Amino acid sequence: MDPVNVADYEALAAQRLDPGVAGYYAGGAGDERTLRDNVDAFARRRLRPRVLVDVGAVSTATTVLGSEVAMPVLVAPTALQRLAHPDGEPGMARAAAATGTIFTLSTLATSRPREVCEHAPPAPRWFQLYAFRDAALTRALCDEAVDCGFDAIVLTVDAPRAGRRERDLRTGFAVPPDVDMPAVRAALGAGACPTPAEFFSLVDASLTWAAVERLAGELDLPVVVKGIQTAQDAALACEHGAAAVVVSNHGGRQLDGVAASIDVLPEVVDAVGGRLEVLVDGGIRRGTDVAVALALGARAVLVGRPALWGLAAAGEPGARHVLELLRDELHLALLLLGCPTPAHVTREHMG
């Protein structure tokens, strides 16, 4: 039977992936309480439909940082996509382009920005950046993304070191030597076979808000700050040049026991007060989850694991189908909520 939802793709991916890779993609930190709560928190939310509203022409289209997208569902940065399927990041970029949304390339990718551009059609793309201790390497990564026409830099700020991901410890997961990670190779040298913890030993743990402001001032691209979990940091992002923030706990992979992203979203939206766009990731598995995020003030959501599961199960077509499923589920949710567009979803639609 063909997959009919994200959970079906998750089950297929688990069957097809090597246990170490499956654990790396699916696992979280510590006891994985936050990992589970990211999903469970959506089940605690209740939607409030309005009836007798003209929903004869519903559209999921919106804009994010000025880019037109077919839906408020973007592809989050996820590492090592060629471990999921040989199509890798170029295939994921093609899937995002085919569904009219934004693809975000991870620093810890198995493809360079230039390769993605050469093997995927023109479309809005973002580049996720880890600020390395080697400032020249960080700058080189930014420069390549800018030269290749990427539309924003997504600075991840919640991972000065890797969380304790015990699934990786149990499987002894490390990147196979035949899998290239251009950014990590540039930092560690050829032949490196790093563990996830070794990835993050390269990251600059001394980063402060001054670095965000400096990056925003140096680049002609908008800077998106990913990893905001408090109202206080959301306000600081507004003051230090960010164009948008992503409410995120890194998919439950960093500090276990923090709040689910969707539970933090309202306080961040209130703190921002419309000064910049607010996005959210973590736990989104259904179009109704997207509707909840919109109702709580998100401009859009980012999905990481669901798109990866699609890629692992069926390559580029699988990733594309996952995005299509979320789009179609959201379309139906908007129609049944009495909302012709994402912009019509407000906190009045939350119980």
Residues across the chain: 351
For 203-224, letters b (16+ CB in 10 Å) and e give beeebebebbbebbeebebbbb
Q: Where do we find the tokens 């060629």?
A: 82
Tell me the HSE value of 145 on the side-chain side, using a 13 A CA sphere.
30
Amino acid at 39: V
133 by Cβ neighbours in 10 Å (0-12 / 13-18 / 19+) ranks as: middle
For 266-281, letters b (16+ CB in 10 Å) and e give bbbbebbeeebbbbbb
The more confident residue out of 210 and 180 is: 210
Give the DSSP H/E element, type plus range, for residue 139.
Answer: helix 135-147
349 is catalytic: no
C-alpha distances out from residue 192 to 110, 176, 181, 182, 197, Å: 14, 9, 9, 11, 13
CATH, residue 125: 3.20.20.70
Round to whole Å and give the CA distance between 163 and 127. Answer: 22
Q: Sign (positive/negative) of CA torsion 211, 254, 97, 90?
A: positive
Confidence bin at 192 (pLDDT 50/70/90): low
Q: Is residue 1 part of a domain?
A: no
Mean pLDDT of all residues in 179-195: 69
DSSP state of 342: G
36 by Cβ neighbours in 10 Å (0-12 / 13-18 / 19+) ranks as: middle
Q: Is residue 290 part of a domain?
A: yes
Q: Which two tokens stand for residue 305?
A: 């694991």
Q: Is 228 left (phi over 0), alpha (psi -120 to 50) or beta?
A: beta
Contacts with 217 (C-beta within 8 Å, 6 or more apart), sequence order: 241
Query: Has residue 186 got a pLDDT over 90?
Result: no
Q: Is residue 345 part of a domain?
A: no
Q: Is residue 115 part of a domain?
A: yes
Confidence bin at 189 (pLDDT 50/70/90): low
pLDDT for position 190:
59
Q: What average pLDDT does the chain have?
A: 95
pLDDT in tens, 42-97: 999 999 999 999 999 999 999 999 999 999 999 999 999 999 999 999 999 999 99
Prediction pTM value: 0.96
Contacts with 293 (C-beta within 8 Å, 6 or more apart), sequence order: 262, 265, 280, 284, 300, 301
Confidence bin at 297 (pLDDT 50/70/90): very high
Q: Is residue 165 part of a domain?
A: yes
Q: Is residue 346 part of a domain?
A: no
Spatial contact of 250 and 158, defined as CB atoms under 8 Å apart: yes
Mean pLDDT of all residues in 315-334: 98
Which residue range is the domain that position 320 belongs to?
6-340
Residue 113 DSSP SS3 = helix
Q: Where do we find the tokens 């290749």?
A: 148
pLDDT in tens, 106-152: 999 999 999 999 999 999 999 999 998 988 889 999 999 999 999 99
pLDDT for position 199:
77
| Terminal Cα distance for the chain, rounded | 36
From 85, 119, 240, 250, the catalytic residue:
250
Round to whole Å and give the CA distance between 192 and 185. Answer: 7
Query: Has residue 191 got a pLDDT over 70?
Result: no
Number of domains in the chain: 1
Output Rg (C-alpha) for the chain, integer angstroms. 19
pLDDT in tens, 235-292: 999 999 999 999 999 999 999 999 999 999 999 999 999 999 999 999 999 999 999 9
DSSP-derived pairing of the beta strands 67-69 and 62-64: antiparallel
Q: Is residue 53 part of a domain?
A: yes
Q: Is residue 322 part of a domain?
A: yes
Would you tell me how many other CB atoms lie within 10 Å of the CB of residue 27? 22
Residues facing residue 114 across a β-bridge: none
